[in-house]
C-alpha cells in the first residue's frame, strides 16, 4: 500500500461539547471522498485521547491497510468541502509525512498553533530550570502570527520561515493536529506519541504563572526527530471557534510576532483575550451649532479595528465591521427606518441590539 492509494483513519477527539456545525460537516462528508476510510470519535481531548486514537489506528493499520492518520477538532470549522483532498495532494506533492493547517489561537493577538521549537539541548536544559523567562514556553516554542504566516508561501516548511533570528539554532517547525494528516506507513510511526510539557514558575513581577507546551507540538517534535518532513499550509480555509470564529484566511492580529506566551503577559498588555474585553459601547452625536439640530450620530459597538464598511439605506447609514464580520460601529447620516438598524444588528447579541434601539436619536429615524 502506497500513499498514492490512501486508506485514511480520520479521527475527532471530543471534550464534552457538541462539534461545531462546520467541523461535523467536514468530518462526516469526508467519508465519501476515499474508498478506504474509517472514522473514530475520541471521548475527550488531550494527549491521552490523542494517543488512544493513534494506537487504534496502529492496531488496525495492517488489517485495514491504513496509510494516513487524519484529525479534525470539534471547534474547527472547515470552509472548503474538498479539504481532505487538498491536504492529501499537499502531502503527496511535498513528499511530506505530516501536513497541518494553520489554525489561529483563540485570542485577538493573531497567534497560531504553528511555531518554531529550538532543538539546542543546552538552551532546553536552561529553560526547564527555575530561570524560565516570562516570555518563554517550557521548551522554547515561538508561535508564528497570522501576519508572519502571510509573509510565507501558502504551504511552507521550516526553510521558508522569513525570520528565524529570534530562535537559537537549530529549530524544528511544529504545528497543531487540529486539522491535519500524517503518514501512518512509516517505521517511526510506532515510536511517536503525544503529551505535553508543563511548568509553574515565578515571573519578574513576583506572580506565579503556569506555562505549558501543546501536545500538538510534542507530536511534531517526535515526527521531526524521527526524520519526518513537516509542512504547514493555509490552503484550507478554516475558523477556530471560541467566543467567535478566528479565521486563517487573511493576515490579522495585534501582534506582528510572538512577544510572550503566558496568559499573564497577554492580560496585562492587552486587557484580556476575548472579544468581550474589547467591547466599549458609546454614542457620539453631531449637531448644527446654530440650531442644535441633530445632523449625524455614530454608535460605537466595540474598540476593535474596522476592516470593512457597508452602505445601507442609500447612504443614510454605514456599518463598520471587523475582519471576522463582527459589528464595530454604525454611522447614521440621515433619517433611516428602524428596519435598517434591525438588519444591521440582526446577528448581534441582545445587549447590542438594545443599545442601538435606545441610543439612536429620534430625529435620525423615519
Give residue limits of the domains in the chain. 7-270, 276-364
- Annotate 214-238 with three-state secondary structure: CHHHHHHHHHHHCCCCEEEECCCCE
Report which of 114, 105, 86, 96 is spatially closest to residue 176, judged by C-alpha positions.
Answer: 114
Which residues of the chain are modeled with pLDDT < 70? 1-6, 15-17, 31-48, 120-140, 162-169, 194-205, 209-215, 260-280, 305, 323-324
Q: What is the pLDDT of residues 44-60, one digit of tens each?
A: 445 567 888 888 899 98
The CA distance from 223 to 129, in Å, is: 25
Fold of 7-270: Spore Coat Polysaccharide Biosynthesis Protein SpsA; Chain A (3.90.550)
User: Residue 34: its pLDDT value, please?
Assistant: 55
Listing DSSP states for 13-69 in one string gives E--SSPPPHHHHHHHHHGGGG-SEEEEEEESS-SHHHHHHHHHHHHHHHHHHT--EE
Determine contact, residues 72/36, Cβ cutoff 8 Å.
no
Give the integer Cα–Cα distance in Å for 20 and 302.
26
Cα-based distances in Å from 287 to 116, 284, 292, 294, 364: 54, 10, 5, 4, 12
pLDDT of residue 240: 93
Query: 80: which 3 cell numbers?
Result: 472548503
Q: What is the β-pairing status of strands 36-42 and 317-321?
A: unpaired
* pLDDT of res. 87: 96
Q: Which residues contact 206 (CB under 8 A, 6 or more apart)?
A: none
Determine how β-strand 230-233 pairs with β-strand 98-101: parallel
- Report the relative pairing of strands 155-156 and 230-233 from DSSP bridges: antiparallel
Residue 95 is predicted with a pLDDT of 96
Helix (H, G, I), strand (E, B), or coil: what is residue 10? strand
Residue tagged 438598524 (cell numbers): 341
Task: Note the pTM of the prediction, 2 decimals.
Answer: 0.66
Radius of gyration (C-alpha) of the chain in whole angstroms: 24
Amino acid at each position: 500500500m502506497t500513499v498514492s492509494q490512501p486508506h485514511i483513519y480520520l479521527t475527532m477527539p471530543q471534550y464534552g461539547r457538541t462539534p461545531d456545525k462546520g467541523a461535523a460537516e467536514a468530518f462526516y462528508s469526508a467519508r465519501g471522498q476515499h474508498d478506504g476510510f474509517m472514522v473514530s470519535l475520541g471521548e475527550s481531548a488531550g494527549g491521552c485521547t490523542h494517543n488512544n486514537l493513534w494506537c487504534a489506528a496502529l492496531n488496525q493499520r495492517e488489517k485495514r491497510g491504513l496509510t494516513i492518520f487524519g484529525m479534525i477538532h470539534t471547534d474547527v470549522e472547515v470552509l472548503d468541502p474538498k479539504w481532505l483532498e487538498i491536504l492529501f495532494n499537499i502531502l503527496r506533492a511535498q513528499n511530506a509525512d505530516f501536513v497541518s493547517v494553520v489554525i489561529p489561537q483563540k485570542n485577538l493577538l493573531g497567534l497560531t498553533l504553528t511555531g518554531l521549537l529550538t532543538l539546542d539541548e543546552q538552551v532546553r536544559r536552561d529553560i526547564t530550570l527555575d530561570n524560565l523567562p516570562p516570555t518563554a514556553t517550557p521548551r522554547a516554542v515561538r508561535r508564528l502570527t497570522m501576519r508572519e504566516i502571510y509573509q510565507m508561501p501558502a504551504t511552507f516548511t521550516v526553510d521558508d520561515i522569513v525570520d528565524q533570528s529570534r530562535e537559537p539554532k537549530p529549530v524544528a517547525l511544529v504545528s497543531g493536529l487540529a486539522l491535519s494528516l500524517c503518514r501512518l506507513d512509516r517505521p517511526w510511526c510506532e515510536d511517536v506519541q503525544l503529551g505535553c510539557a508543563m511548568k509553574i514558575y515565578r515571573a519578574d513581577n513576583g506572580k506565579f504563572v503556569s506555562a505549558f507546551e501543546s501536545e500538538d507540538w510534542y507530536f511534531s517534535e517526535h515526527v521531526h526527530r524521527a526524520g519526518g518532513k513537516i509542512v504547514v499550509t493555509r490552503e484550507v480555509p478554516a475558523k477556530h471557534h471560541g467566543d467567535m470564529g478566528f479565521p486563517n484566511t487573511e493576515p490579522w492580529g495585534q501582534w506582528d510576532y510572538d512577544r510572550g506566551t503566558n496568559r499573564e503577559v497577554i492580560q496585562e498588555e492587552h486587557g484580556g483575550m476575548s472579544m468581550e474585553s474589547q467591547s466599549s459601547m458609546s454614542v457620539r452625536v453631531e449637531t448644527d451649532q446654530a440650531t442644535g439640530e441633530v445632523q449625524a450620530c455614530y454608535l460605537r459597538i466595540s474598540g476593535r479595528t474596522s476592516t470593512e464598511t457597508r452602505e445601507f439605506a442609500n447612504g443614510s447609514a454605514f456599518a463598520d465591521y471587523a475582519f471576522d464580520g463582527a459589528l464595530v460601529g454604525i454611522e447614521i447620516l440621515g433619517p433611516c427606518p428602524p428596519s435598517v438598524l434591525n438588519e444591521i444588528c440582526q446577528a448581534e447579541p441582545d445587549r447590542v441590539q438594545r443599545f442601538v434601539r435606545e441610543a439612536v436619536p429620534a430625529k435620525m429615524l423615519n
